[in-house]
Structure 1
Amino acid sequence: MRVSVVGGGTITDAEYEQARDVGRLLAQRGHTVVCGGRTGVMEAVCRGAREEGGETIGVLPGEDSRAANEYVTTPIATGLGNARNVLVVLNGDAAIAIDGSTGTLSEIAHALDLGRPVAGLGTHDVAGVEAAESAAEAVEYVEASV
């Protein structure tokens, strides 16, 4: 399954490690990570997935695929800016949101509109988002919901 992981581009060390754990678990369970391909949560989840030999897809806002973080295995340049947020969640079967601001909130909304299950780790309190306490809980929720 493909799991979209969305979240802040600027995060704390603890949030980085939590996102990295999500990436590791997703890869260990054979899932592909889809994300925005840049910094923060996106880098951390890709790093964790790559450490376990997993595949990562980065849907980038700009026109240069080289702008992806070093852990993205398949960069997709869109030239769409933040409008690419819908493509991030459209290309996942489920979503996990970690931290984040308005961009993450828009991705959560798009995921819910598309009928994707969404687990949240320290993110927006929105109806339809299943609050999780750990990376394992978030991954287990999306696996059970698809």
Structure 2
Amino acid sequence: MTAKLSVGVFCGASTGNSPRYLDVGGDLGRLLAERGHRLVYGAGGVGVMGAVARSTAAGGGHILGVIPEFLRAREMTDDLPSQELVLTGDLFDRKRMMIGGADAFIALPGGYGTVDEVVEVLSMAALGLDVGPLVLIDVAGDWDPFLDMVDGLARRGFARRTDLCHVVGGAAEALDLVEALTVAVVPQARRSESEPARAH
């Protein structure tokens, strides 16, 4: 039986220019709920972010949403699904809490914030810090420019490893890989639904 995980999901608050982004986000949320995993995300109710959360909630999944106070005040009209909501002082605290509260990470396409969160996890992994696996879902070649940049860093001698994340084509494949990669993690590393997220 697969251990229940807290999965940090990074993704855009916009819909993107193709309905496939929302479709894949919905698929991921549905599968998180079906498999009993907790969604840890940025507490947005719109865009790809909202699609993941609404689908998770519709399936009865547990959700931890983390958002800065200033951003929540700006988005008060957003229709958030049922979730445990944590307000932070700023974007940095939000990122620390999301990363500290997750066993593994899945990134869907998104904007600056999504890229920032992905780079943070990669930086931690490169330094040998205790951070879970990172899987990128590539819907339409979205991550190719980013991966080219990472390869360029290595070619120029600024990065030693280019194998710190995994790229897949869909939600089921992403969750399958996350589950496989966390099998060897000690049980106490798992975070139960009642345990609050911890910032590292």
Amino acid at match of 2:60: G
Q: 1:129 aligns with which of 157, 165, 168?
A: 165
Q: Within the alignment, does 1:101 sit opposite 2:111 as a pair?
A: yes
The equivalent position to 1:76 in structure 2, one of 64, 81, 86, is 86
Match of 2:132 in 1: 116
Which residue of 1 is the match for residue 53 of structure 2?
46
Q: What per-residue deviation string (whole Å, max 9, x for no partner) do you get for residues 10-45 of structure 1? A: 123211110111011011001000000113222111
Aligned with 2:68 (options 54, 58, 61)? 61
**Contact 1:4–1:94 under 8 Å retained in 2:** yes
- 2:43, 2:80 within 8 Å by CA — same for their partners in 1? no
Q: Secondary structure at the match of 2:69?
A: coil
Supply the RMSD in Å over aligned alpha carbons. 2.1
Change (3 A) 1:27 1:57: same
| Matching residue of 2:193 | none
Compare 104-113 and 44-53 and name the one that shifted more.
104-113
- Quote the residue 2:15 is aligned against: 11
Unaligned runs of 5+ in 1: none
Gaps (5+ residues) in structure 2?
125-129, 151-161, 183-200
Q: Which amino acid aligns with 1:33?
A: L
- Structure 2 distance, partners of 1:69, 1:75, is 13
- State the AA in 2 paired with 1:145: L
Instruction: Kindly name which structure, 1 or 2, has the bigger radius of gyration based on alpha carbons.
Output: 2
1:8 to partner: Cα distance: 1.1
8 Å CA contact 1:37, 1:72 repeated in 2: no
State the distance in 2 between where 1:43 and 1:87 align: 19
